Amino acid sequence: MASKPVVLQSRFFRALCPPKQCSKPYATSNRTTSPTGGVGSYPSTSAQIADDQVARLAARPLHVLTLADFVRHGRPPLSAEALFSSANFTLSLLPIRLAHRIQALRNLPFIVVSNPHVARIYNNYLHSLSTLLPYHQRQITTLEDEIQFTEVMADLVQTHSNTIPILARGFLECRKYISPVDVTRFLDAHLRARIGTRLIAEQHIALHLSSQPHCGTGTAGKYETPPSGYIGVIDTALRPAEIIRNCESFVSEICELKYGVRPTLVINGQPDTKLAHVPTHLDYILTELLKNAFRATVESGKEREPVEVTIAASPSVPMPAVMEGATTTGYITPNESSVPGVTIRIRDRGGGISPENLPNIWSYSFTTFGDDEVPATNGNIDALNAISGAGGESSSLAGLGYGLPLGRAYAEYFGGSIAVQSLWGWGTDVYLKLRGLGKM
């Protein structure tokens, strides 16, 4: 299997392609005001951004992402002009998206946003916005600026790598002050917005790293040539069967560590099926689904029964219309109105899901813990849950019940879905539908 493009962490990126530091940090008035005019009402932060700047950016409409946005610059390696175009397009989107999330956090009850964990995320967004604003006032037209900007993108991705588990902790501690309905509404919107923001940043980083001749003389040889089928983070010839086997190996090792056994997995159907998709998203979804199937299989004493995964290519079907309002930022439309997809069924003999638990599997389970049952922040609930998924979030989310909602958010972002059918006392079938992204 071809290796996935690696989004380099900031220190490694800096070592390979060191940028020059900006001459001075960005700063504006350090006076922060509440929507009602009070001074100092928001959690303190070292990022100095005037409220009116955030308000102006948050008032601008969000760009509805399409796959054409991610392939508009062509296949790598990109020319310097195409690389500048990618950087400027990224820069045109991210400040507005960050400002929308800052405004959404400010709209939470004050006692919630004052929670140390929620305040930390609030400050992270302000920090990221402050690092982008110096570039927002001008166009990126030189290699030096592009290298510096890509370094900022790498820092942004790293800064927000643990956003969801930190928010989960904060909402768990504030569950007396905000209703589950309000939390679910906020997290649903935040998850989808975050997926898009991270995808935009990682796409430019990947295009930069796959266009290394533009990074400077003498550095191109230090980089691994990206797989030819990739456009940034998108694998145009992704084979789900290969992702399944990788996830199986990983989950099996963790399962054996905890239980001393590892269930077997068989793949049938059409294992050679290919489609264009984002491998890291599929990796996260399948890791979560296989973790659930393996755990149920072992804990029900059916470890000799294999987990069965069926891959079936789906015919071309029309893409559902993008809804107006908040949901317009929750999906990416493909390059074509009708594209083929893939359905993956994961079947286990783990006894199924009890009728009383089945209605709650898509809920954020922050309300199911008692005051003395809050899991540790480091996520050490048990070995099987200590799984690092896309973005490194899964280990910190262990025991918080965020796995399935997060997986569904990743699936739905490209027009897919996850459905669960449980036969109580026998087993569970999970249907993951992936919509292809069209020809590229």
pLDDT of amino acid 39 = 35
Among the ranges given (172-176, 237-241, 259-263, 335-339), the one the predictor scored with the smallest mean pLDDT? 335-339
Report the DSSP pairing between strands 234-238 and 230-231. antiparallel
Answer with the residue of higher pLDDT: 19 or 215.
Answer: 215
- Work out the average pLDDT over 34-44: 42
pLDDT of amino acid 212 = 67
For the stretch 285-307, pLDDT in tens is: 999 999 999 999 999 999 999 99
Among the ranges given (37-51, 103-117, 309-323, 373-387), the one the predictor scored with the smallest mean pLDDT? 373-387
- CA 39 from chain centre, in angstroms, equals 34
Tell me what percent of the residues of the chain surpass a pLDDT of 90: 50
Among the ranges given (16-20, 124-128, 247-251), the one the predictor scored with the smallest mean pLDDT? 16-20
pLDDT confidence bin for 418, thresholds 50/70/90 = very high
Please determine, for residue 396, whether its predicted confidence score (pLDDT) is greater than 80: no
pLDDT of amino acid 11 = 40
Please determine, for residue 12, whether its predicted confidence score (pLDDT) is greater than 60: no
Does the model's pTM come out above 0.85?
Answer: no
- Work out the average pLDDT over 24-47: 42
pLDDT confidence bin for 214, thresholds 50/70/90 = low
In what order do the strands lie in the sheet containing 417-423?
A: 265-269, 307-318, 338-348, 427-435, 417-423
Please determine, for residue 257, whether its predicted confidence score (pLDDT) is greater than 70: yes
- Work out the average pLDDT over 52-57: 92
Please tell me the distance from the alpha carbon of residue 312 to that of residue 272, in angstroms, as a whole number.
10
Please determine, for residue 355, whether its predicted confidence score (pLDDT) is greater than 70: yes
pLDDT confidence bin for 164, thresholds 50/70/90 = confident
- Rg of the chain over CA atoms, in angstroms? 22
For the stretch 220-244, pLDDT in tens is: 444 455 566 899 999 989 999 999 9
Q: Residue 14 is encoded by which pair of tokens?
A: 């800096």
The single residue listed with the structure tokens 């099996």 is 252
For the stretch 71-85, pLDDT in tens is: 888 888 899 999 999
Q: Residue 78 is encoded by which pair of tokens?
A: 């990109």
Please determine, for residue 370, whether its predicted confidence score (pLDDT) is greater than 50: no
pLDDT confidence bin for 180, thresholds 50/70/90 = confident
Answer with the residue of higher pLDDT: 174 or 31.
Answer: 174
pLDDT of amino acid 401 = 56
pLDDT confidence bin for 392, thresholds 50/70/90 = very low
pLDDT confidence bin for 362, thresholds 50/70/90 = confident
Please determine, for residue 416, whether its predicted confidence score (pLDDT) is greater than 70: yes
Report the DSSP pairing between strands 265-269 and 307-318. parallel
Tell me what percent of the residues of the chain surpass a pLDDT of 70: 70
Please tell me the distance from the alpha carbon of residue 230 to that of residue 283, in angstroms, as a whole number.
16
Side chain identity, residue 382? D
- Work out the average pLDDT over 202-227: 66
pLDDT of amino acid 122 = 96
C-beta of residue 8 within 8 angstroms of C-beta of residue 16: yes
Q: Residue 207 is encoded by which pair of tokens?
A: 């295009």
User: What mean pLDDT value characterizes the chain?
Assistant: 78
pLDDT of amino acid 363 = 77
Please determine, for residue 423, whether its predicted confidence score (pLDDT) is greater than 50: yes
pLDDT of amino acid 365 = 58
pLDDT of amino acid 31 = 36
SS (H, E, C) the chain: CCCCCCCCCHHHHHHHCCCCCCCCCCCCCCCCECCCCCECCCCCCCCCCCHHHHHHHHHCCCCCCEHHHHHCCCCCCCCHHHHHHHHHHHHHHHHHHHHHHHHHHHCCCHHHHCCHHHHHHHHHHHHHHHHHHHHHCCCCCCHHHHHHHHHHHHHHHHHCCCHHHHHHHHHHHCCCCCCHHHHHHHHHHHHHHHHHHHHHHHHHHHHHHCCHHHHCCCCHHHCCCCCCCEECCEEEEECHHHHHHHHHHHHHHHHHHHHCCCCCEEEEECCCCCEEECHHHHHHHHHHHHHHHHHHHHHCCCCCCCEEEEEEEEEEEECCCCCCHHHHHCCCECCCCEEEEEEEEEEECCCCCCCCCHHHCCCCHHHHCCCCCCCCCCCCCCCCCCCCCHHHCCCCCCCCCCHHHHHHHHHHHCCCEEEEEEECCCEEEEEEEEECCCCC
- Work out the average pLDDT over 406-417: 88
Helix 279-299, helix 403-413: angle, nearest 10: 150
- Work out the average pLDDT over 258-280: 93
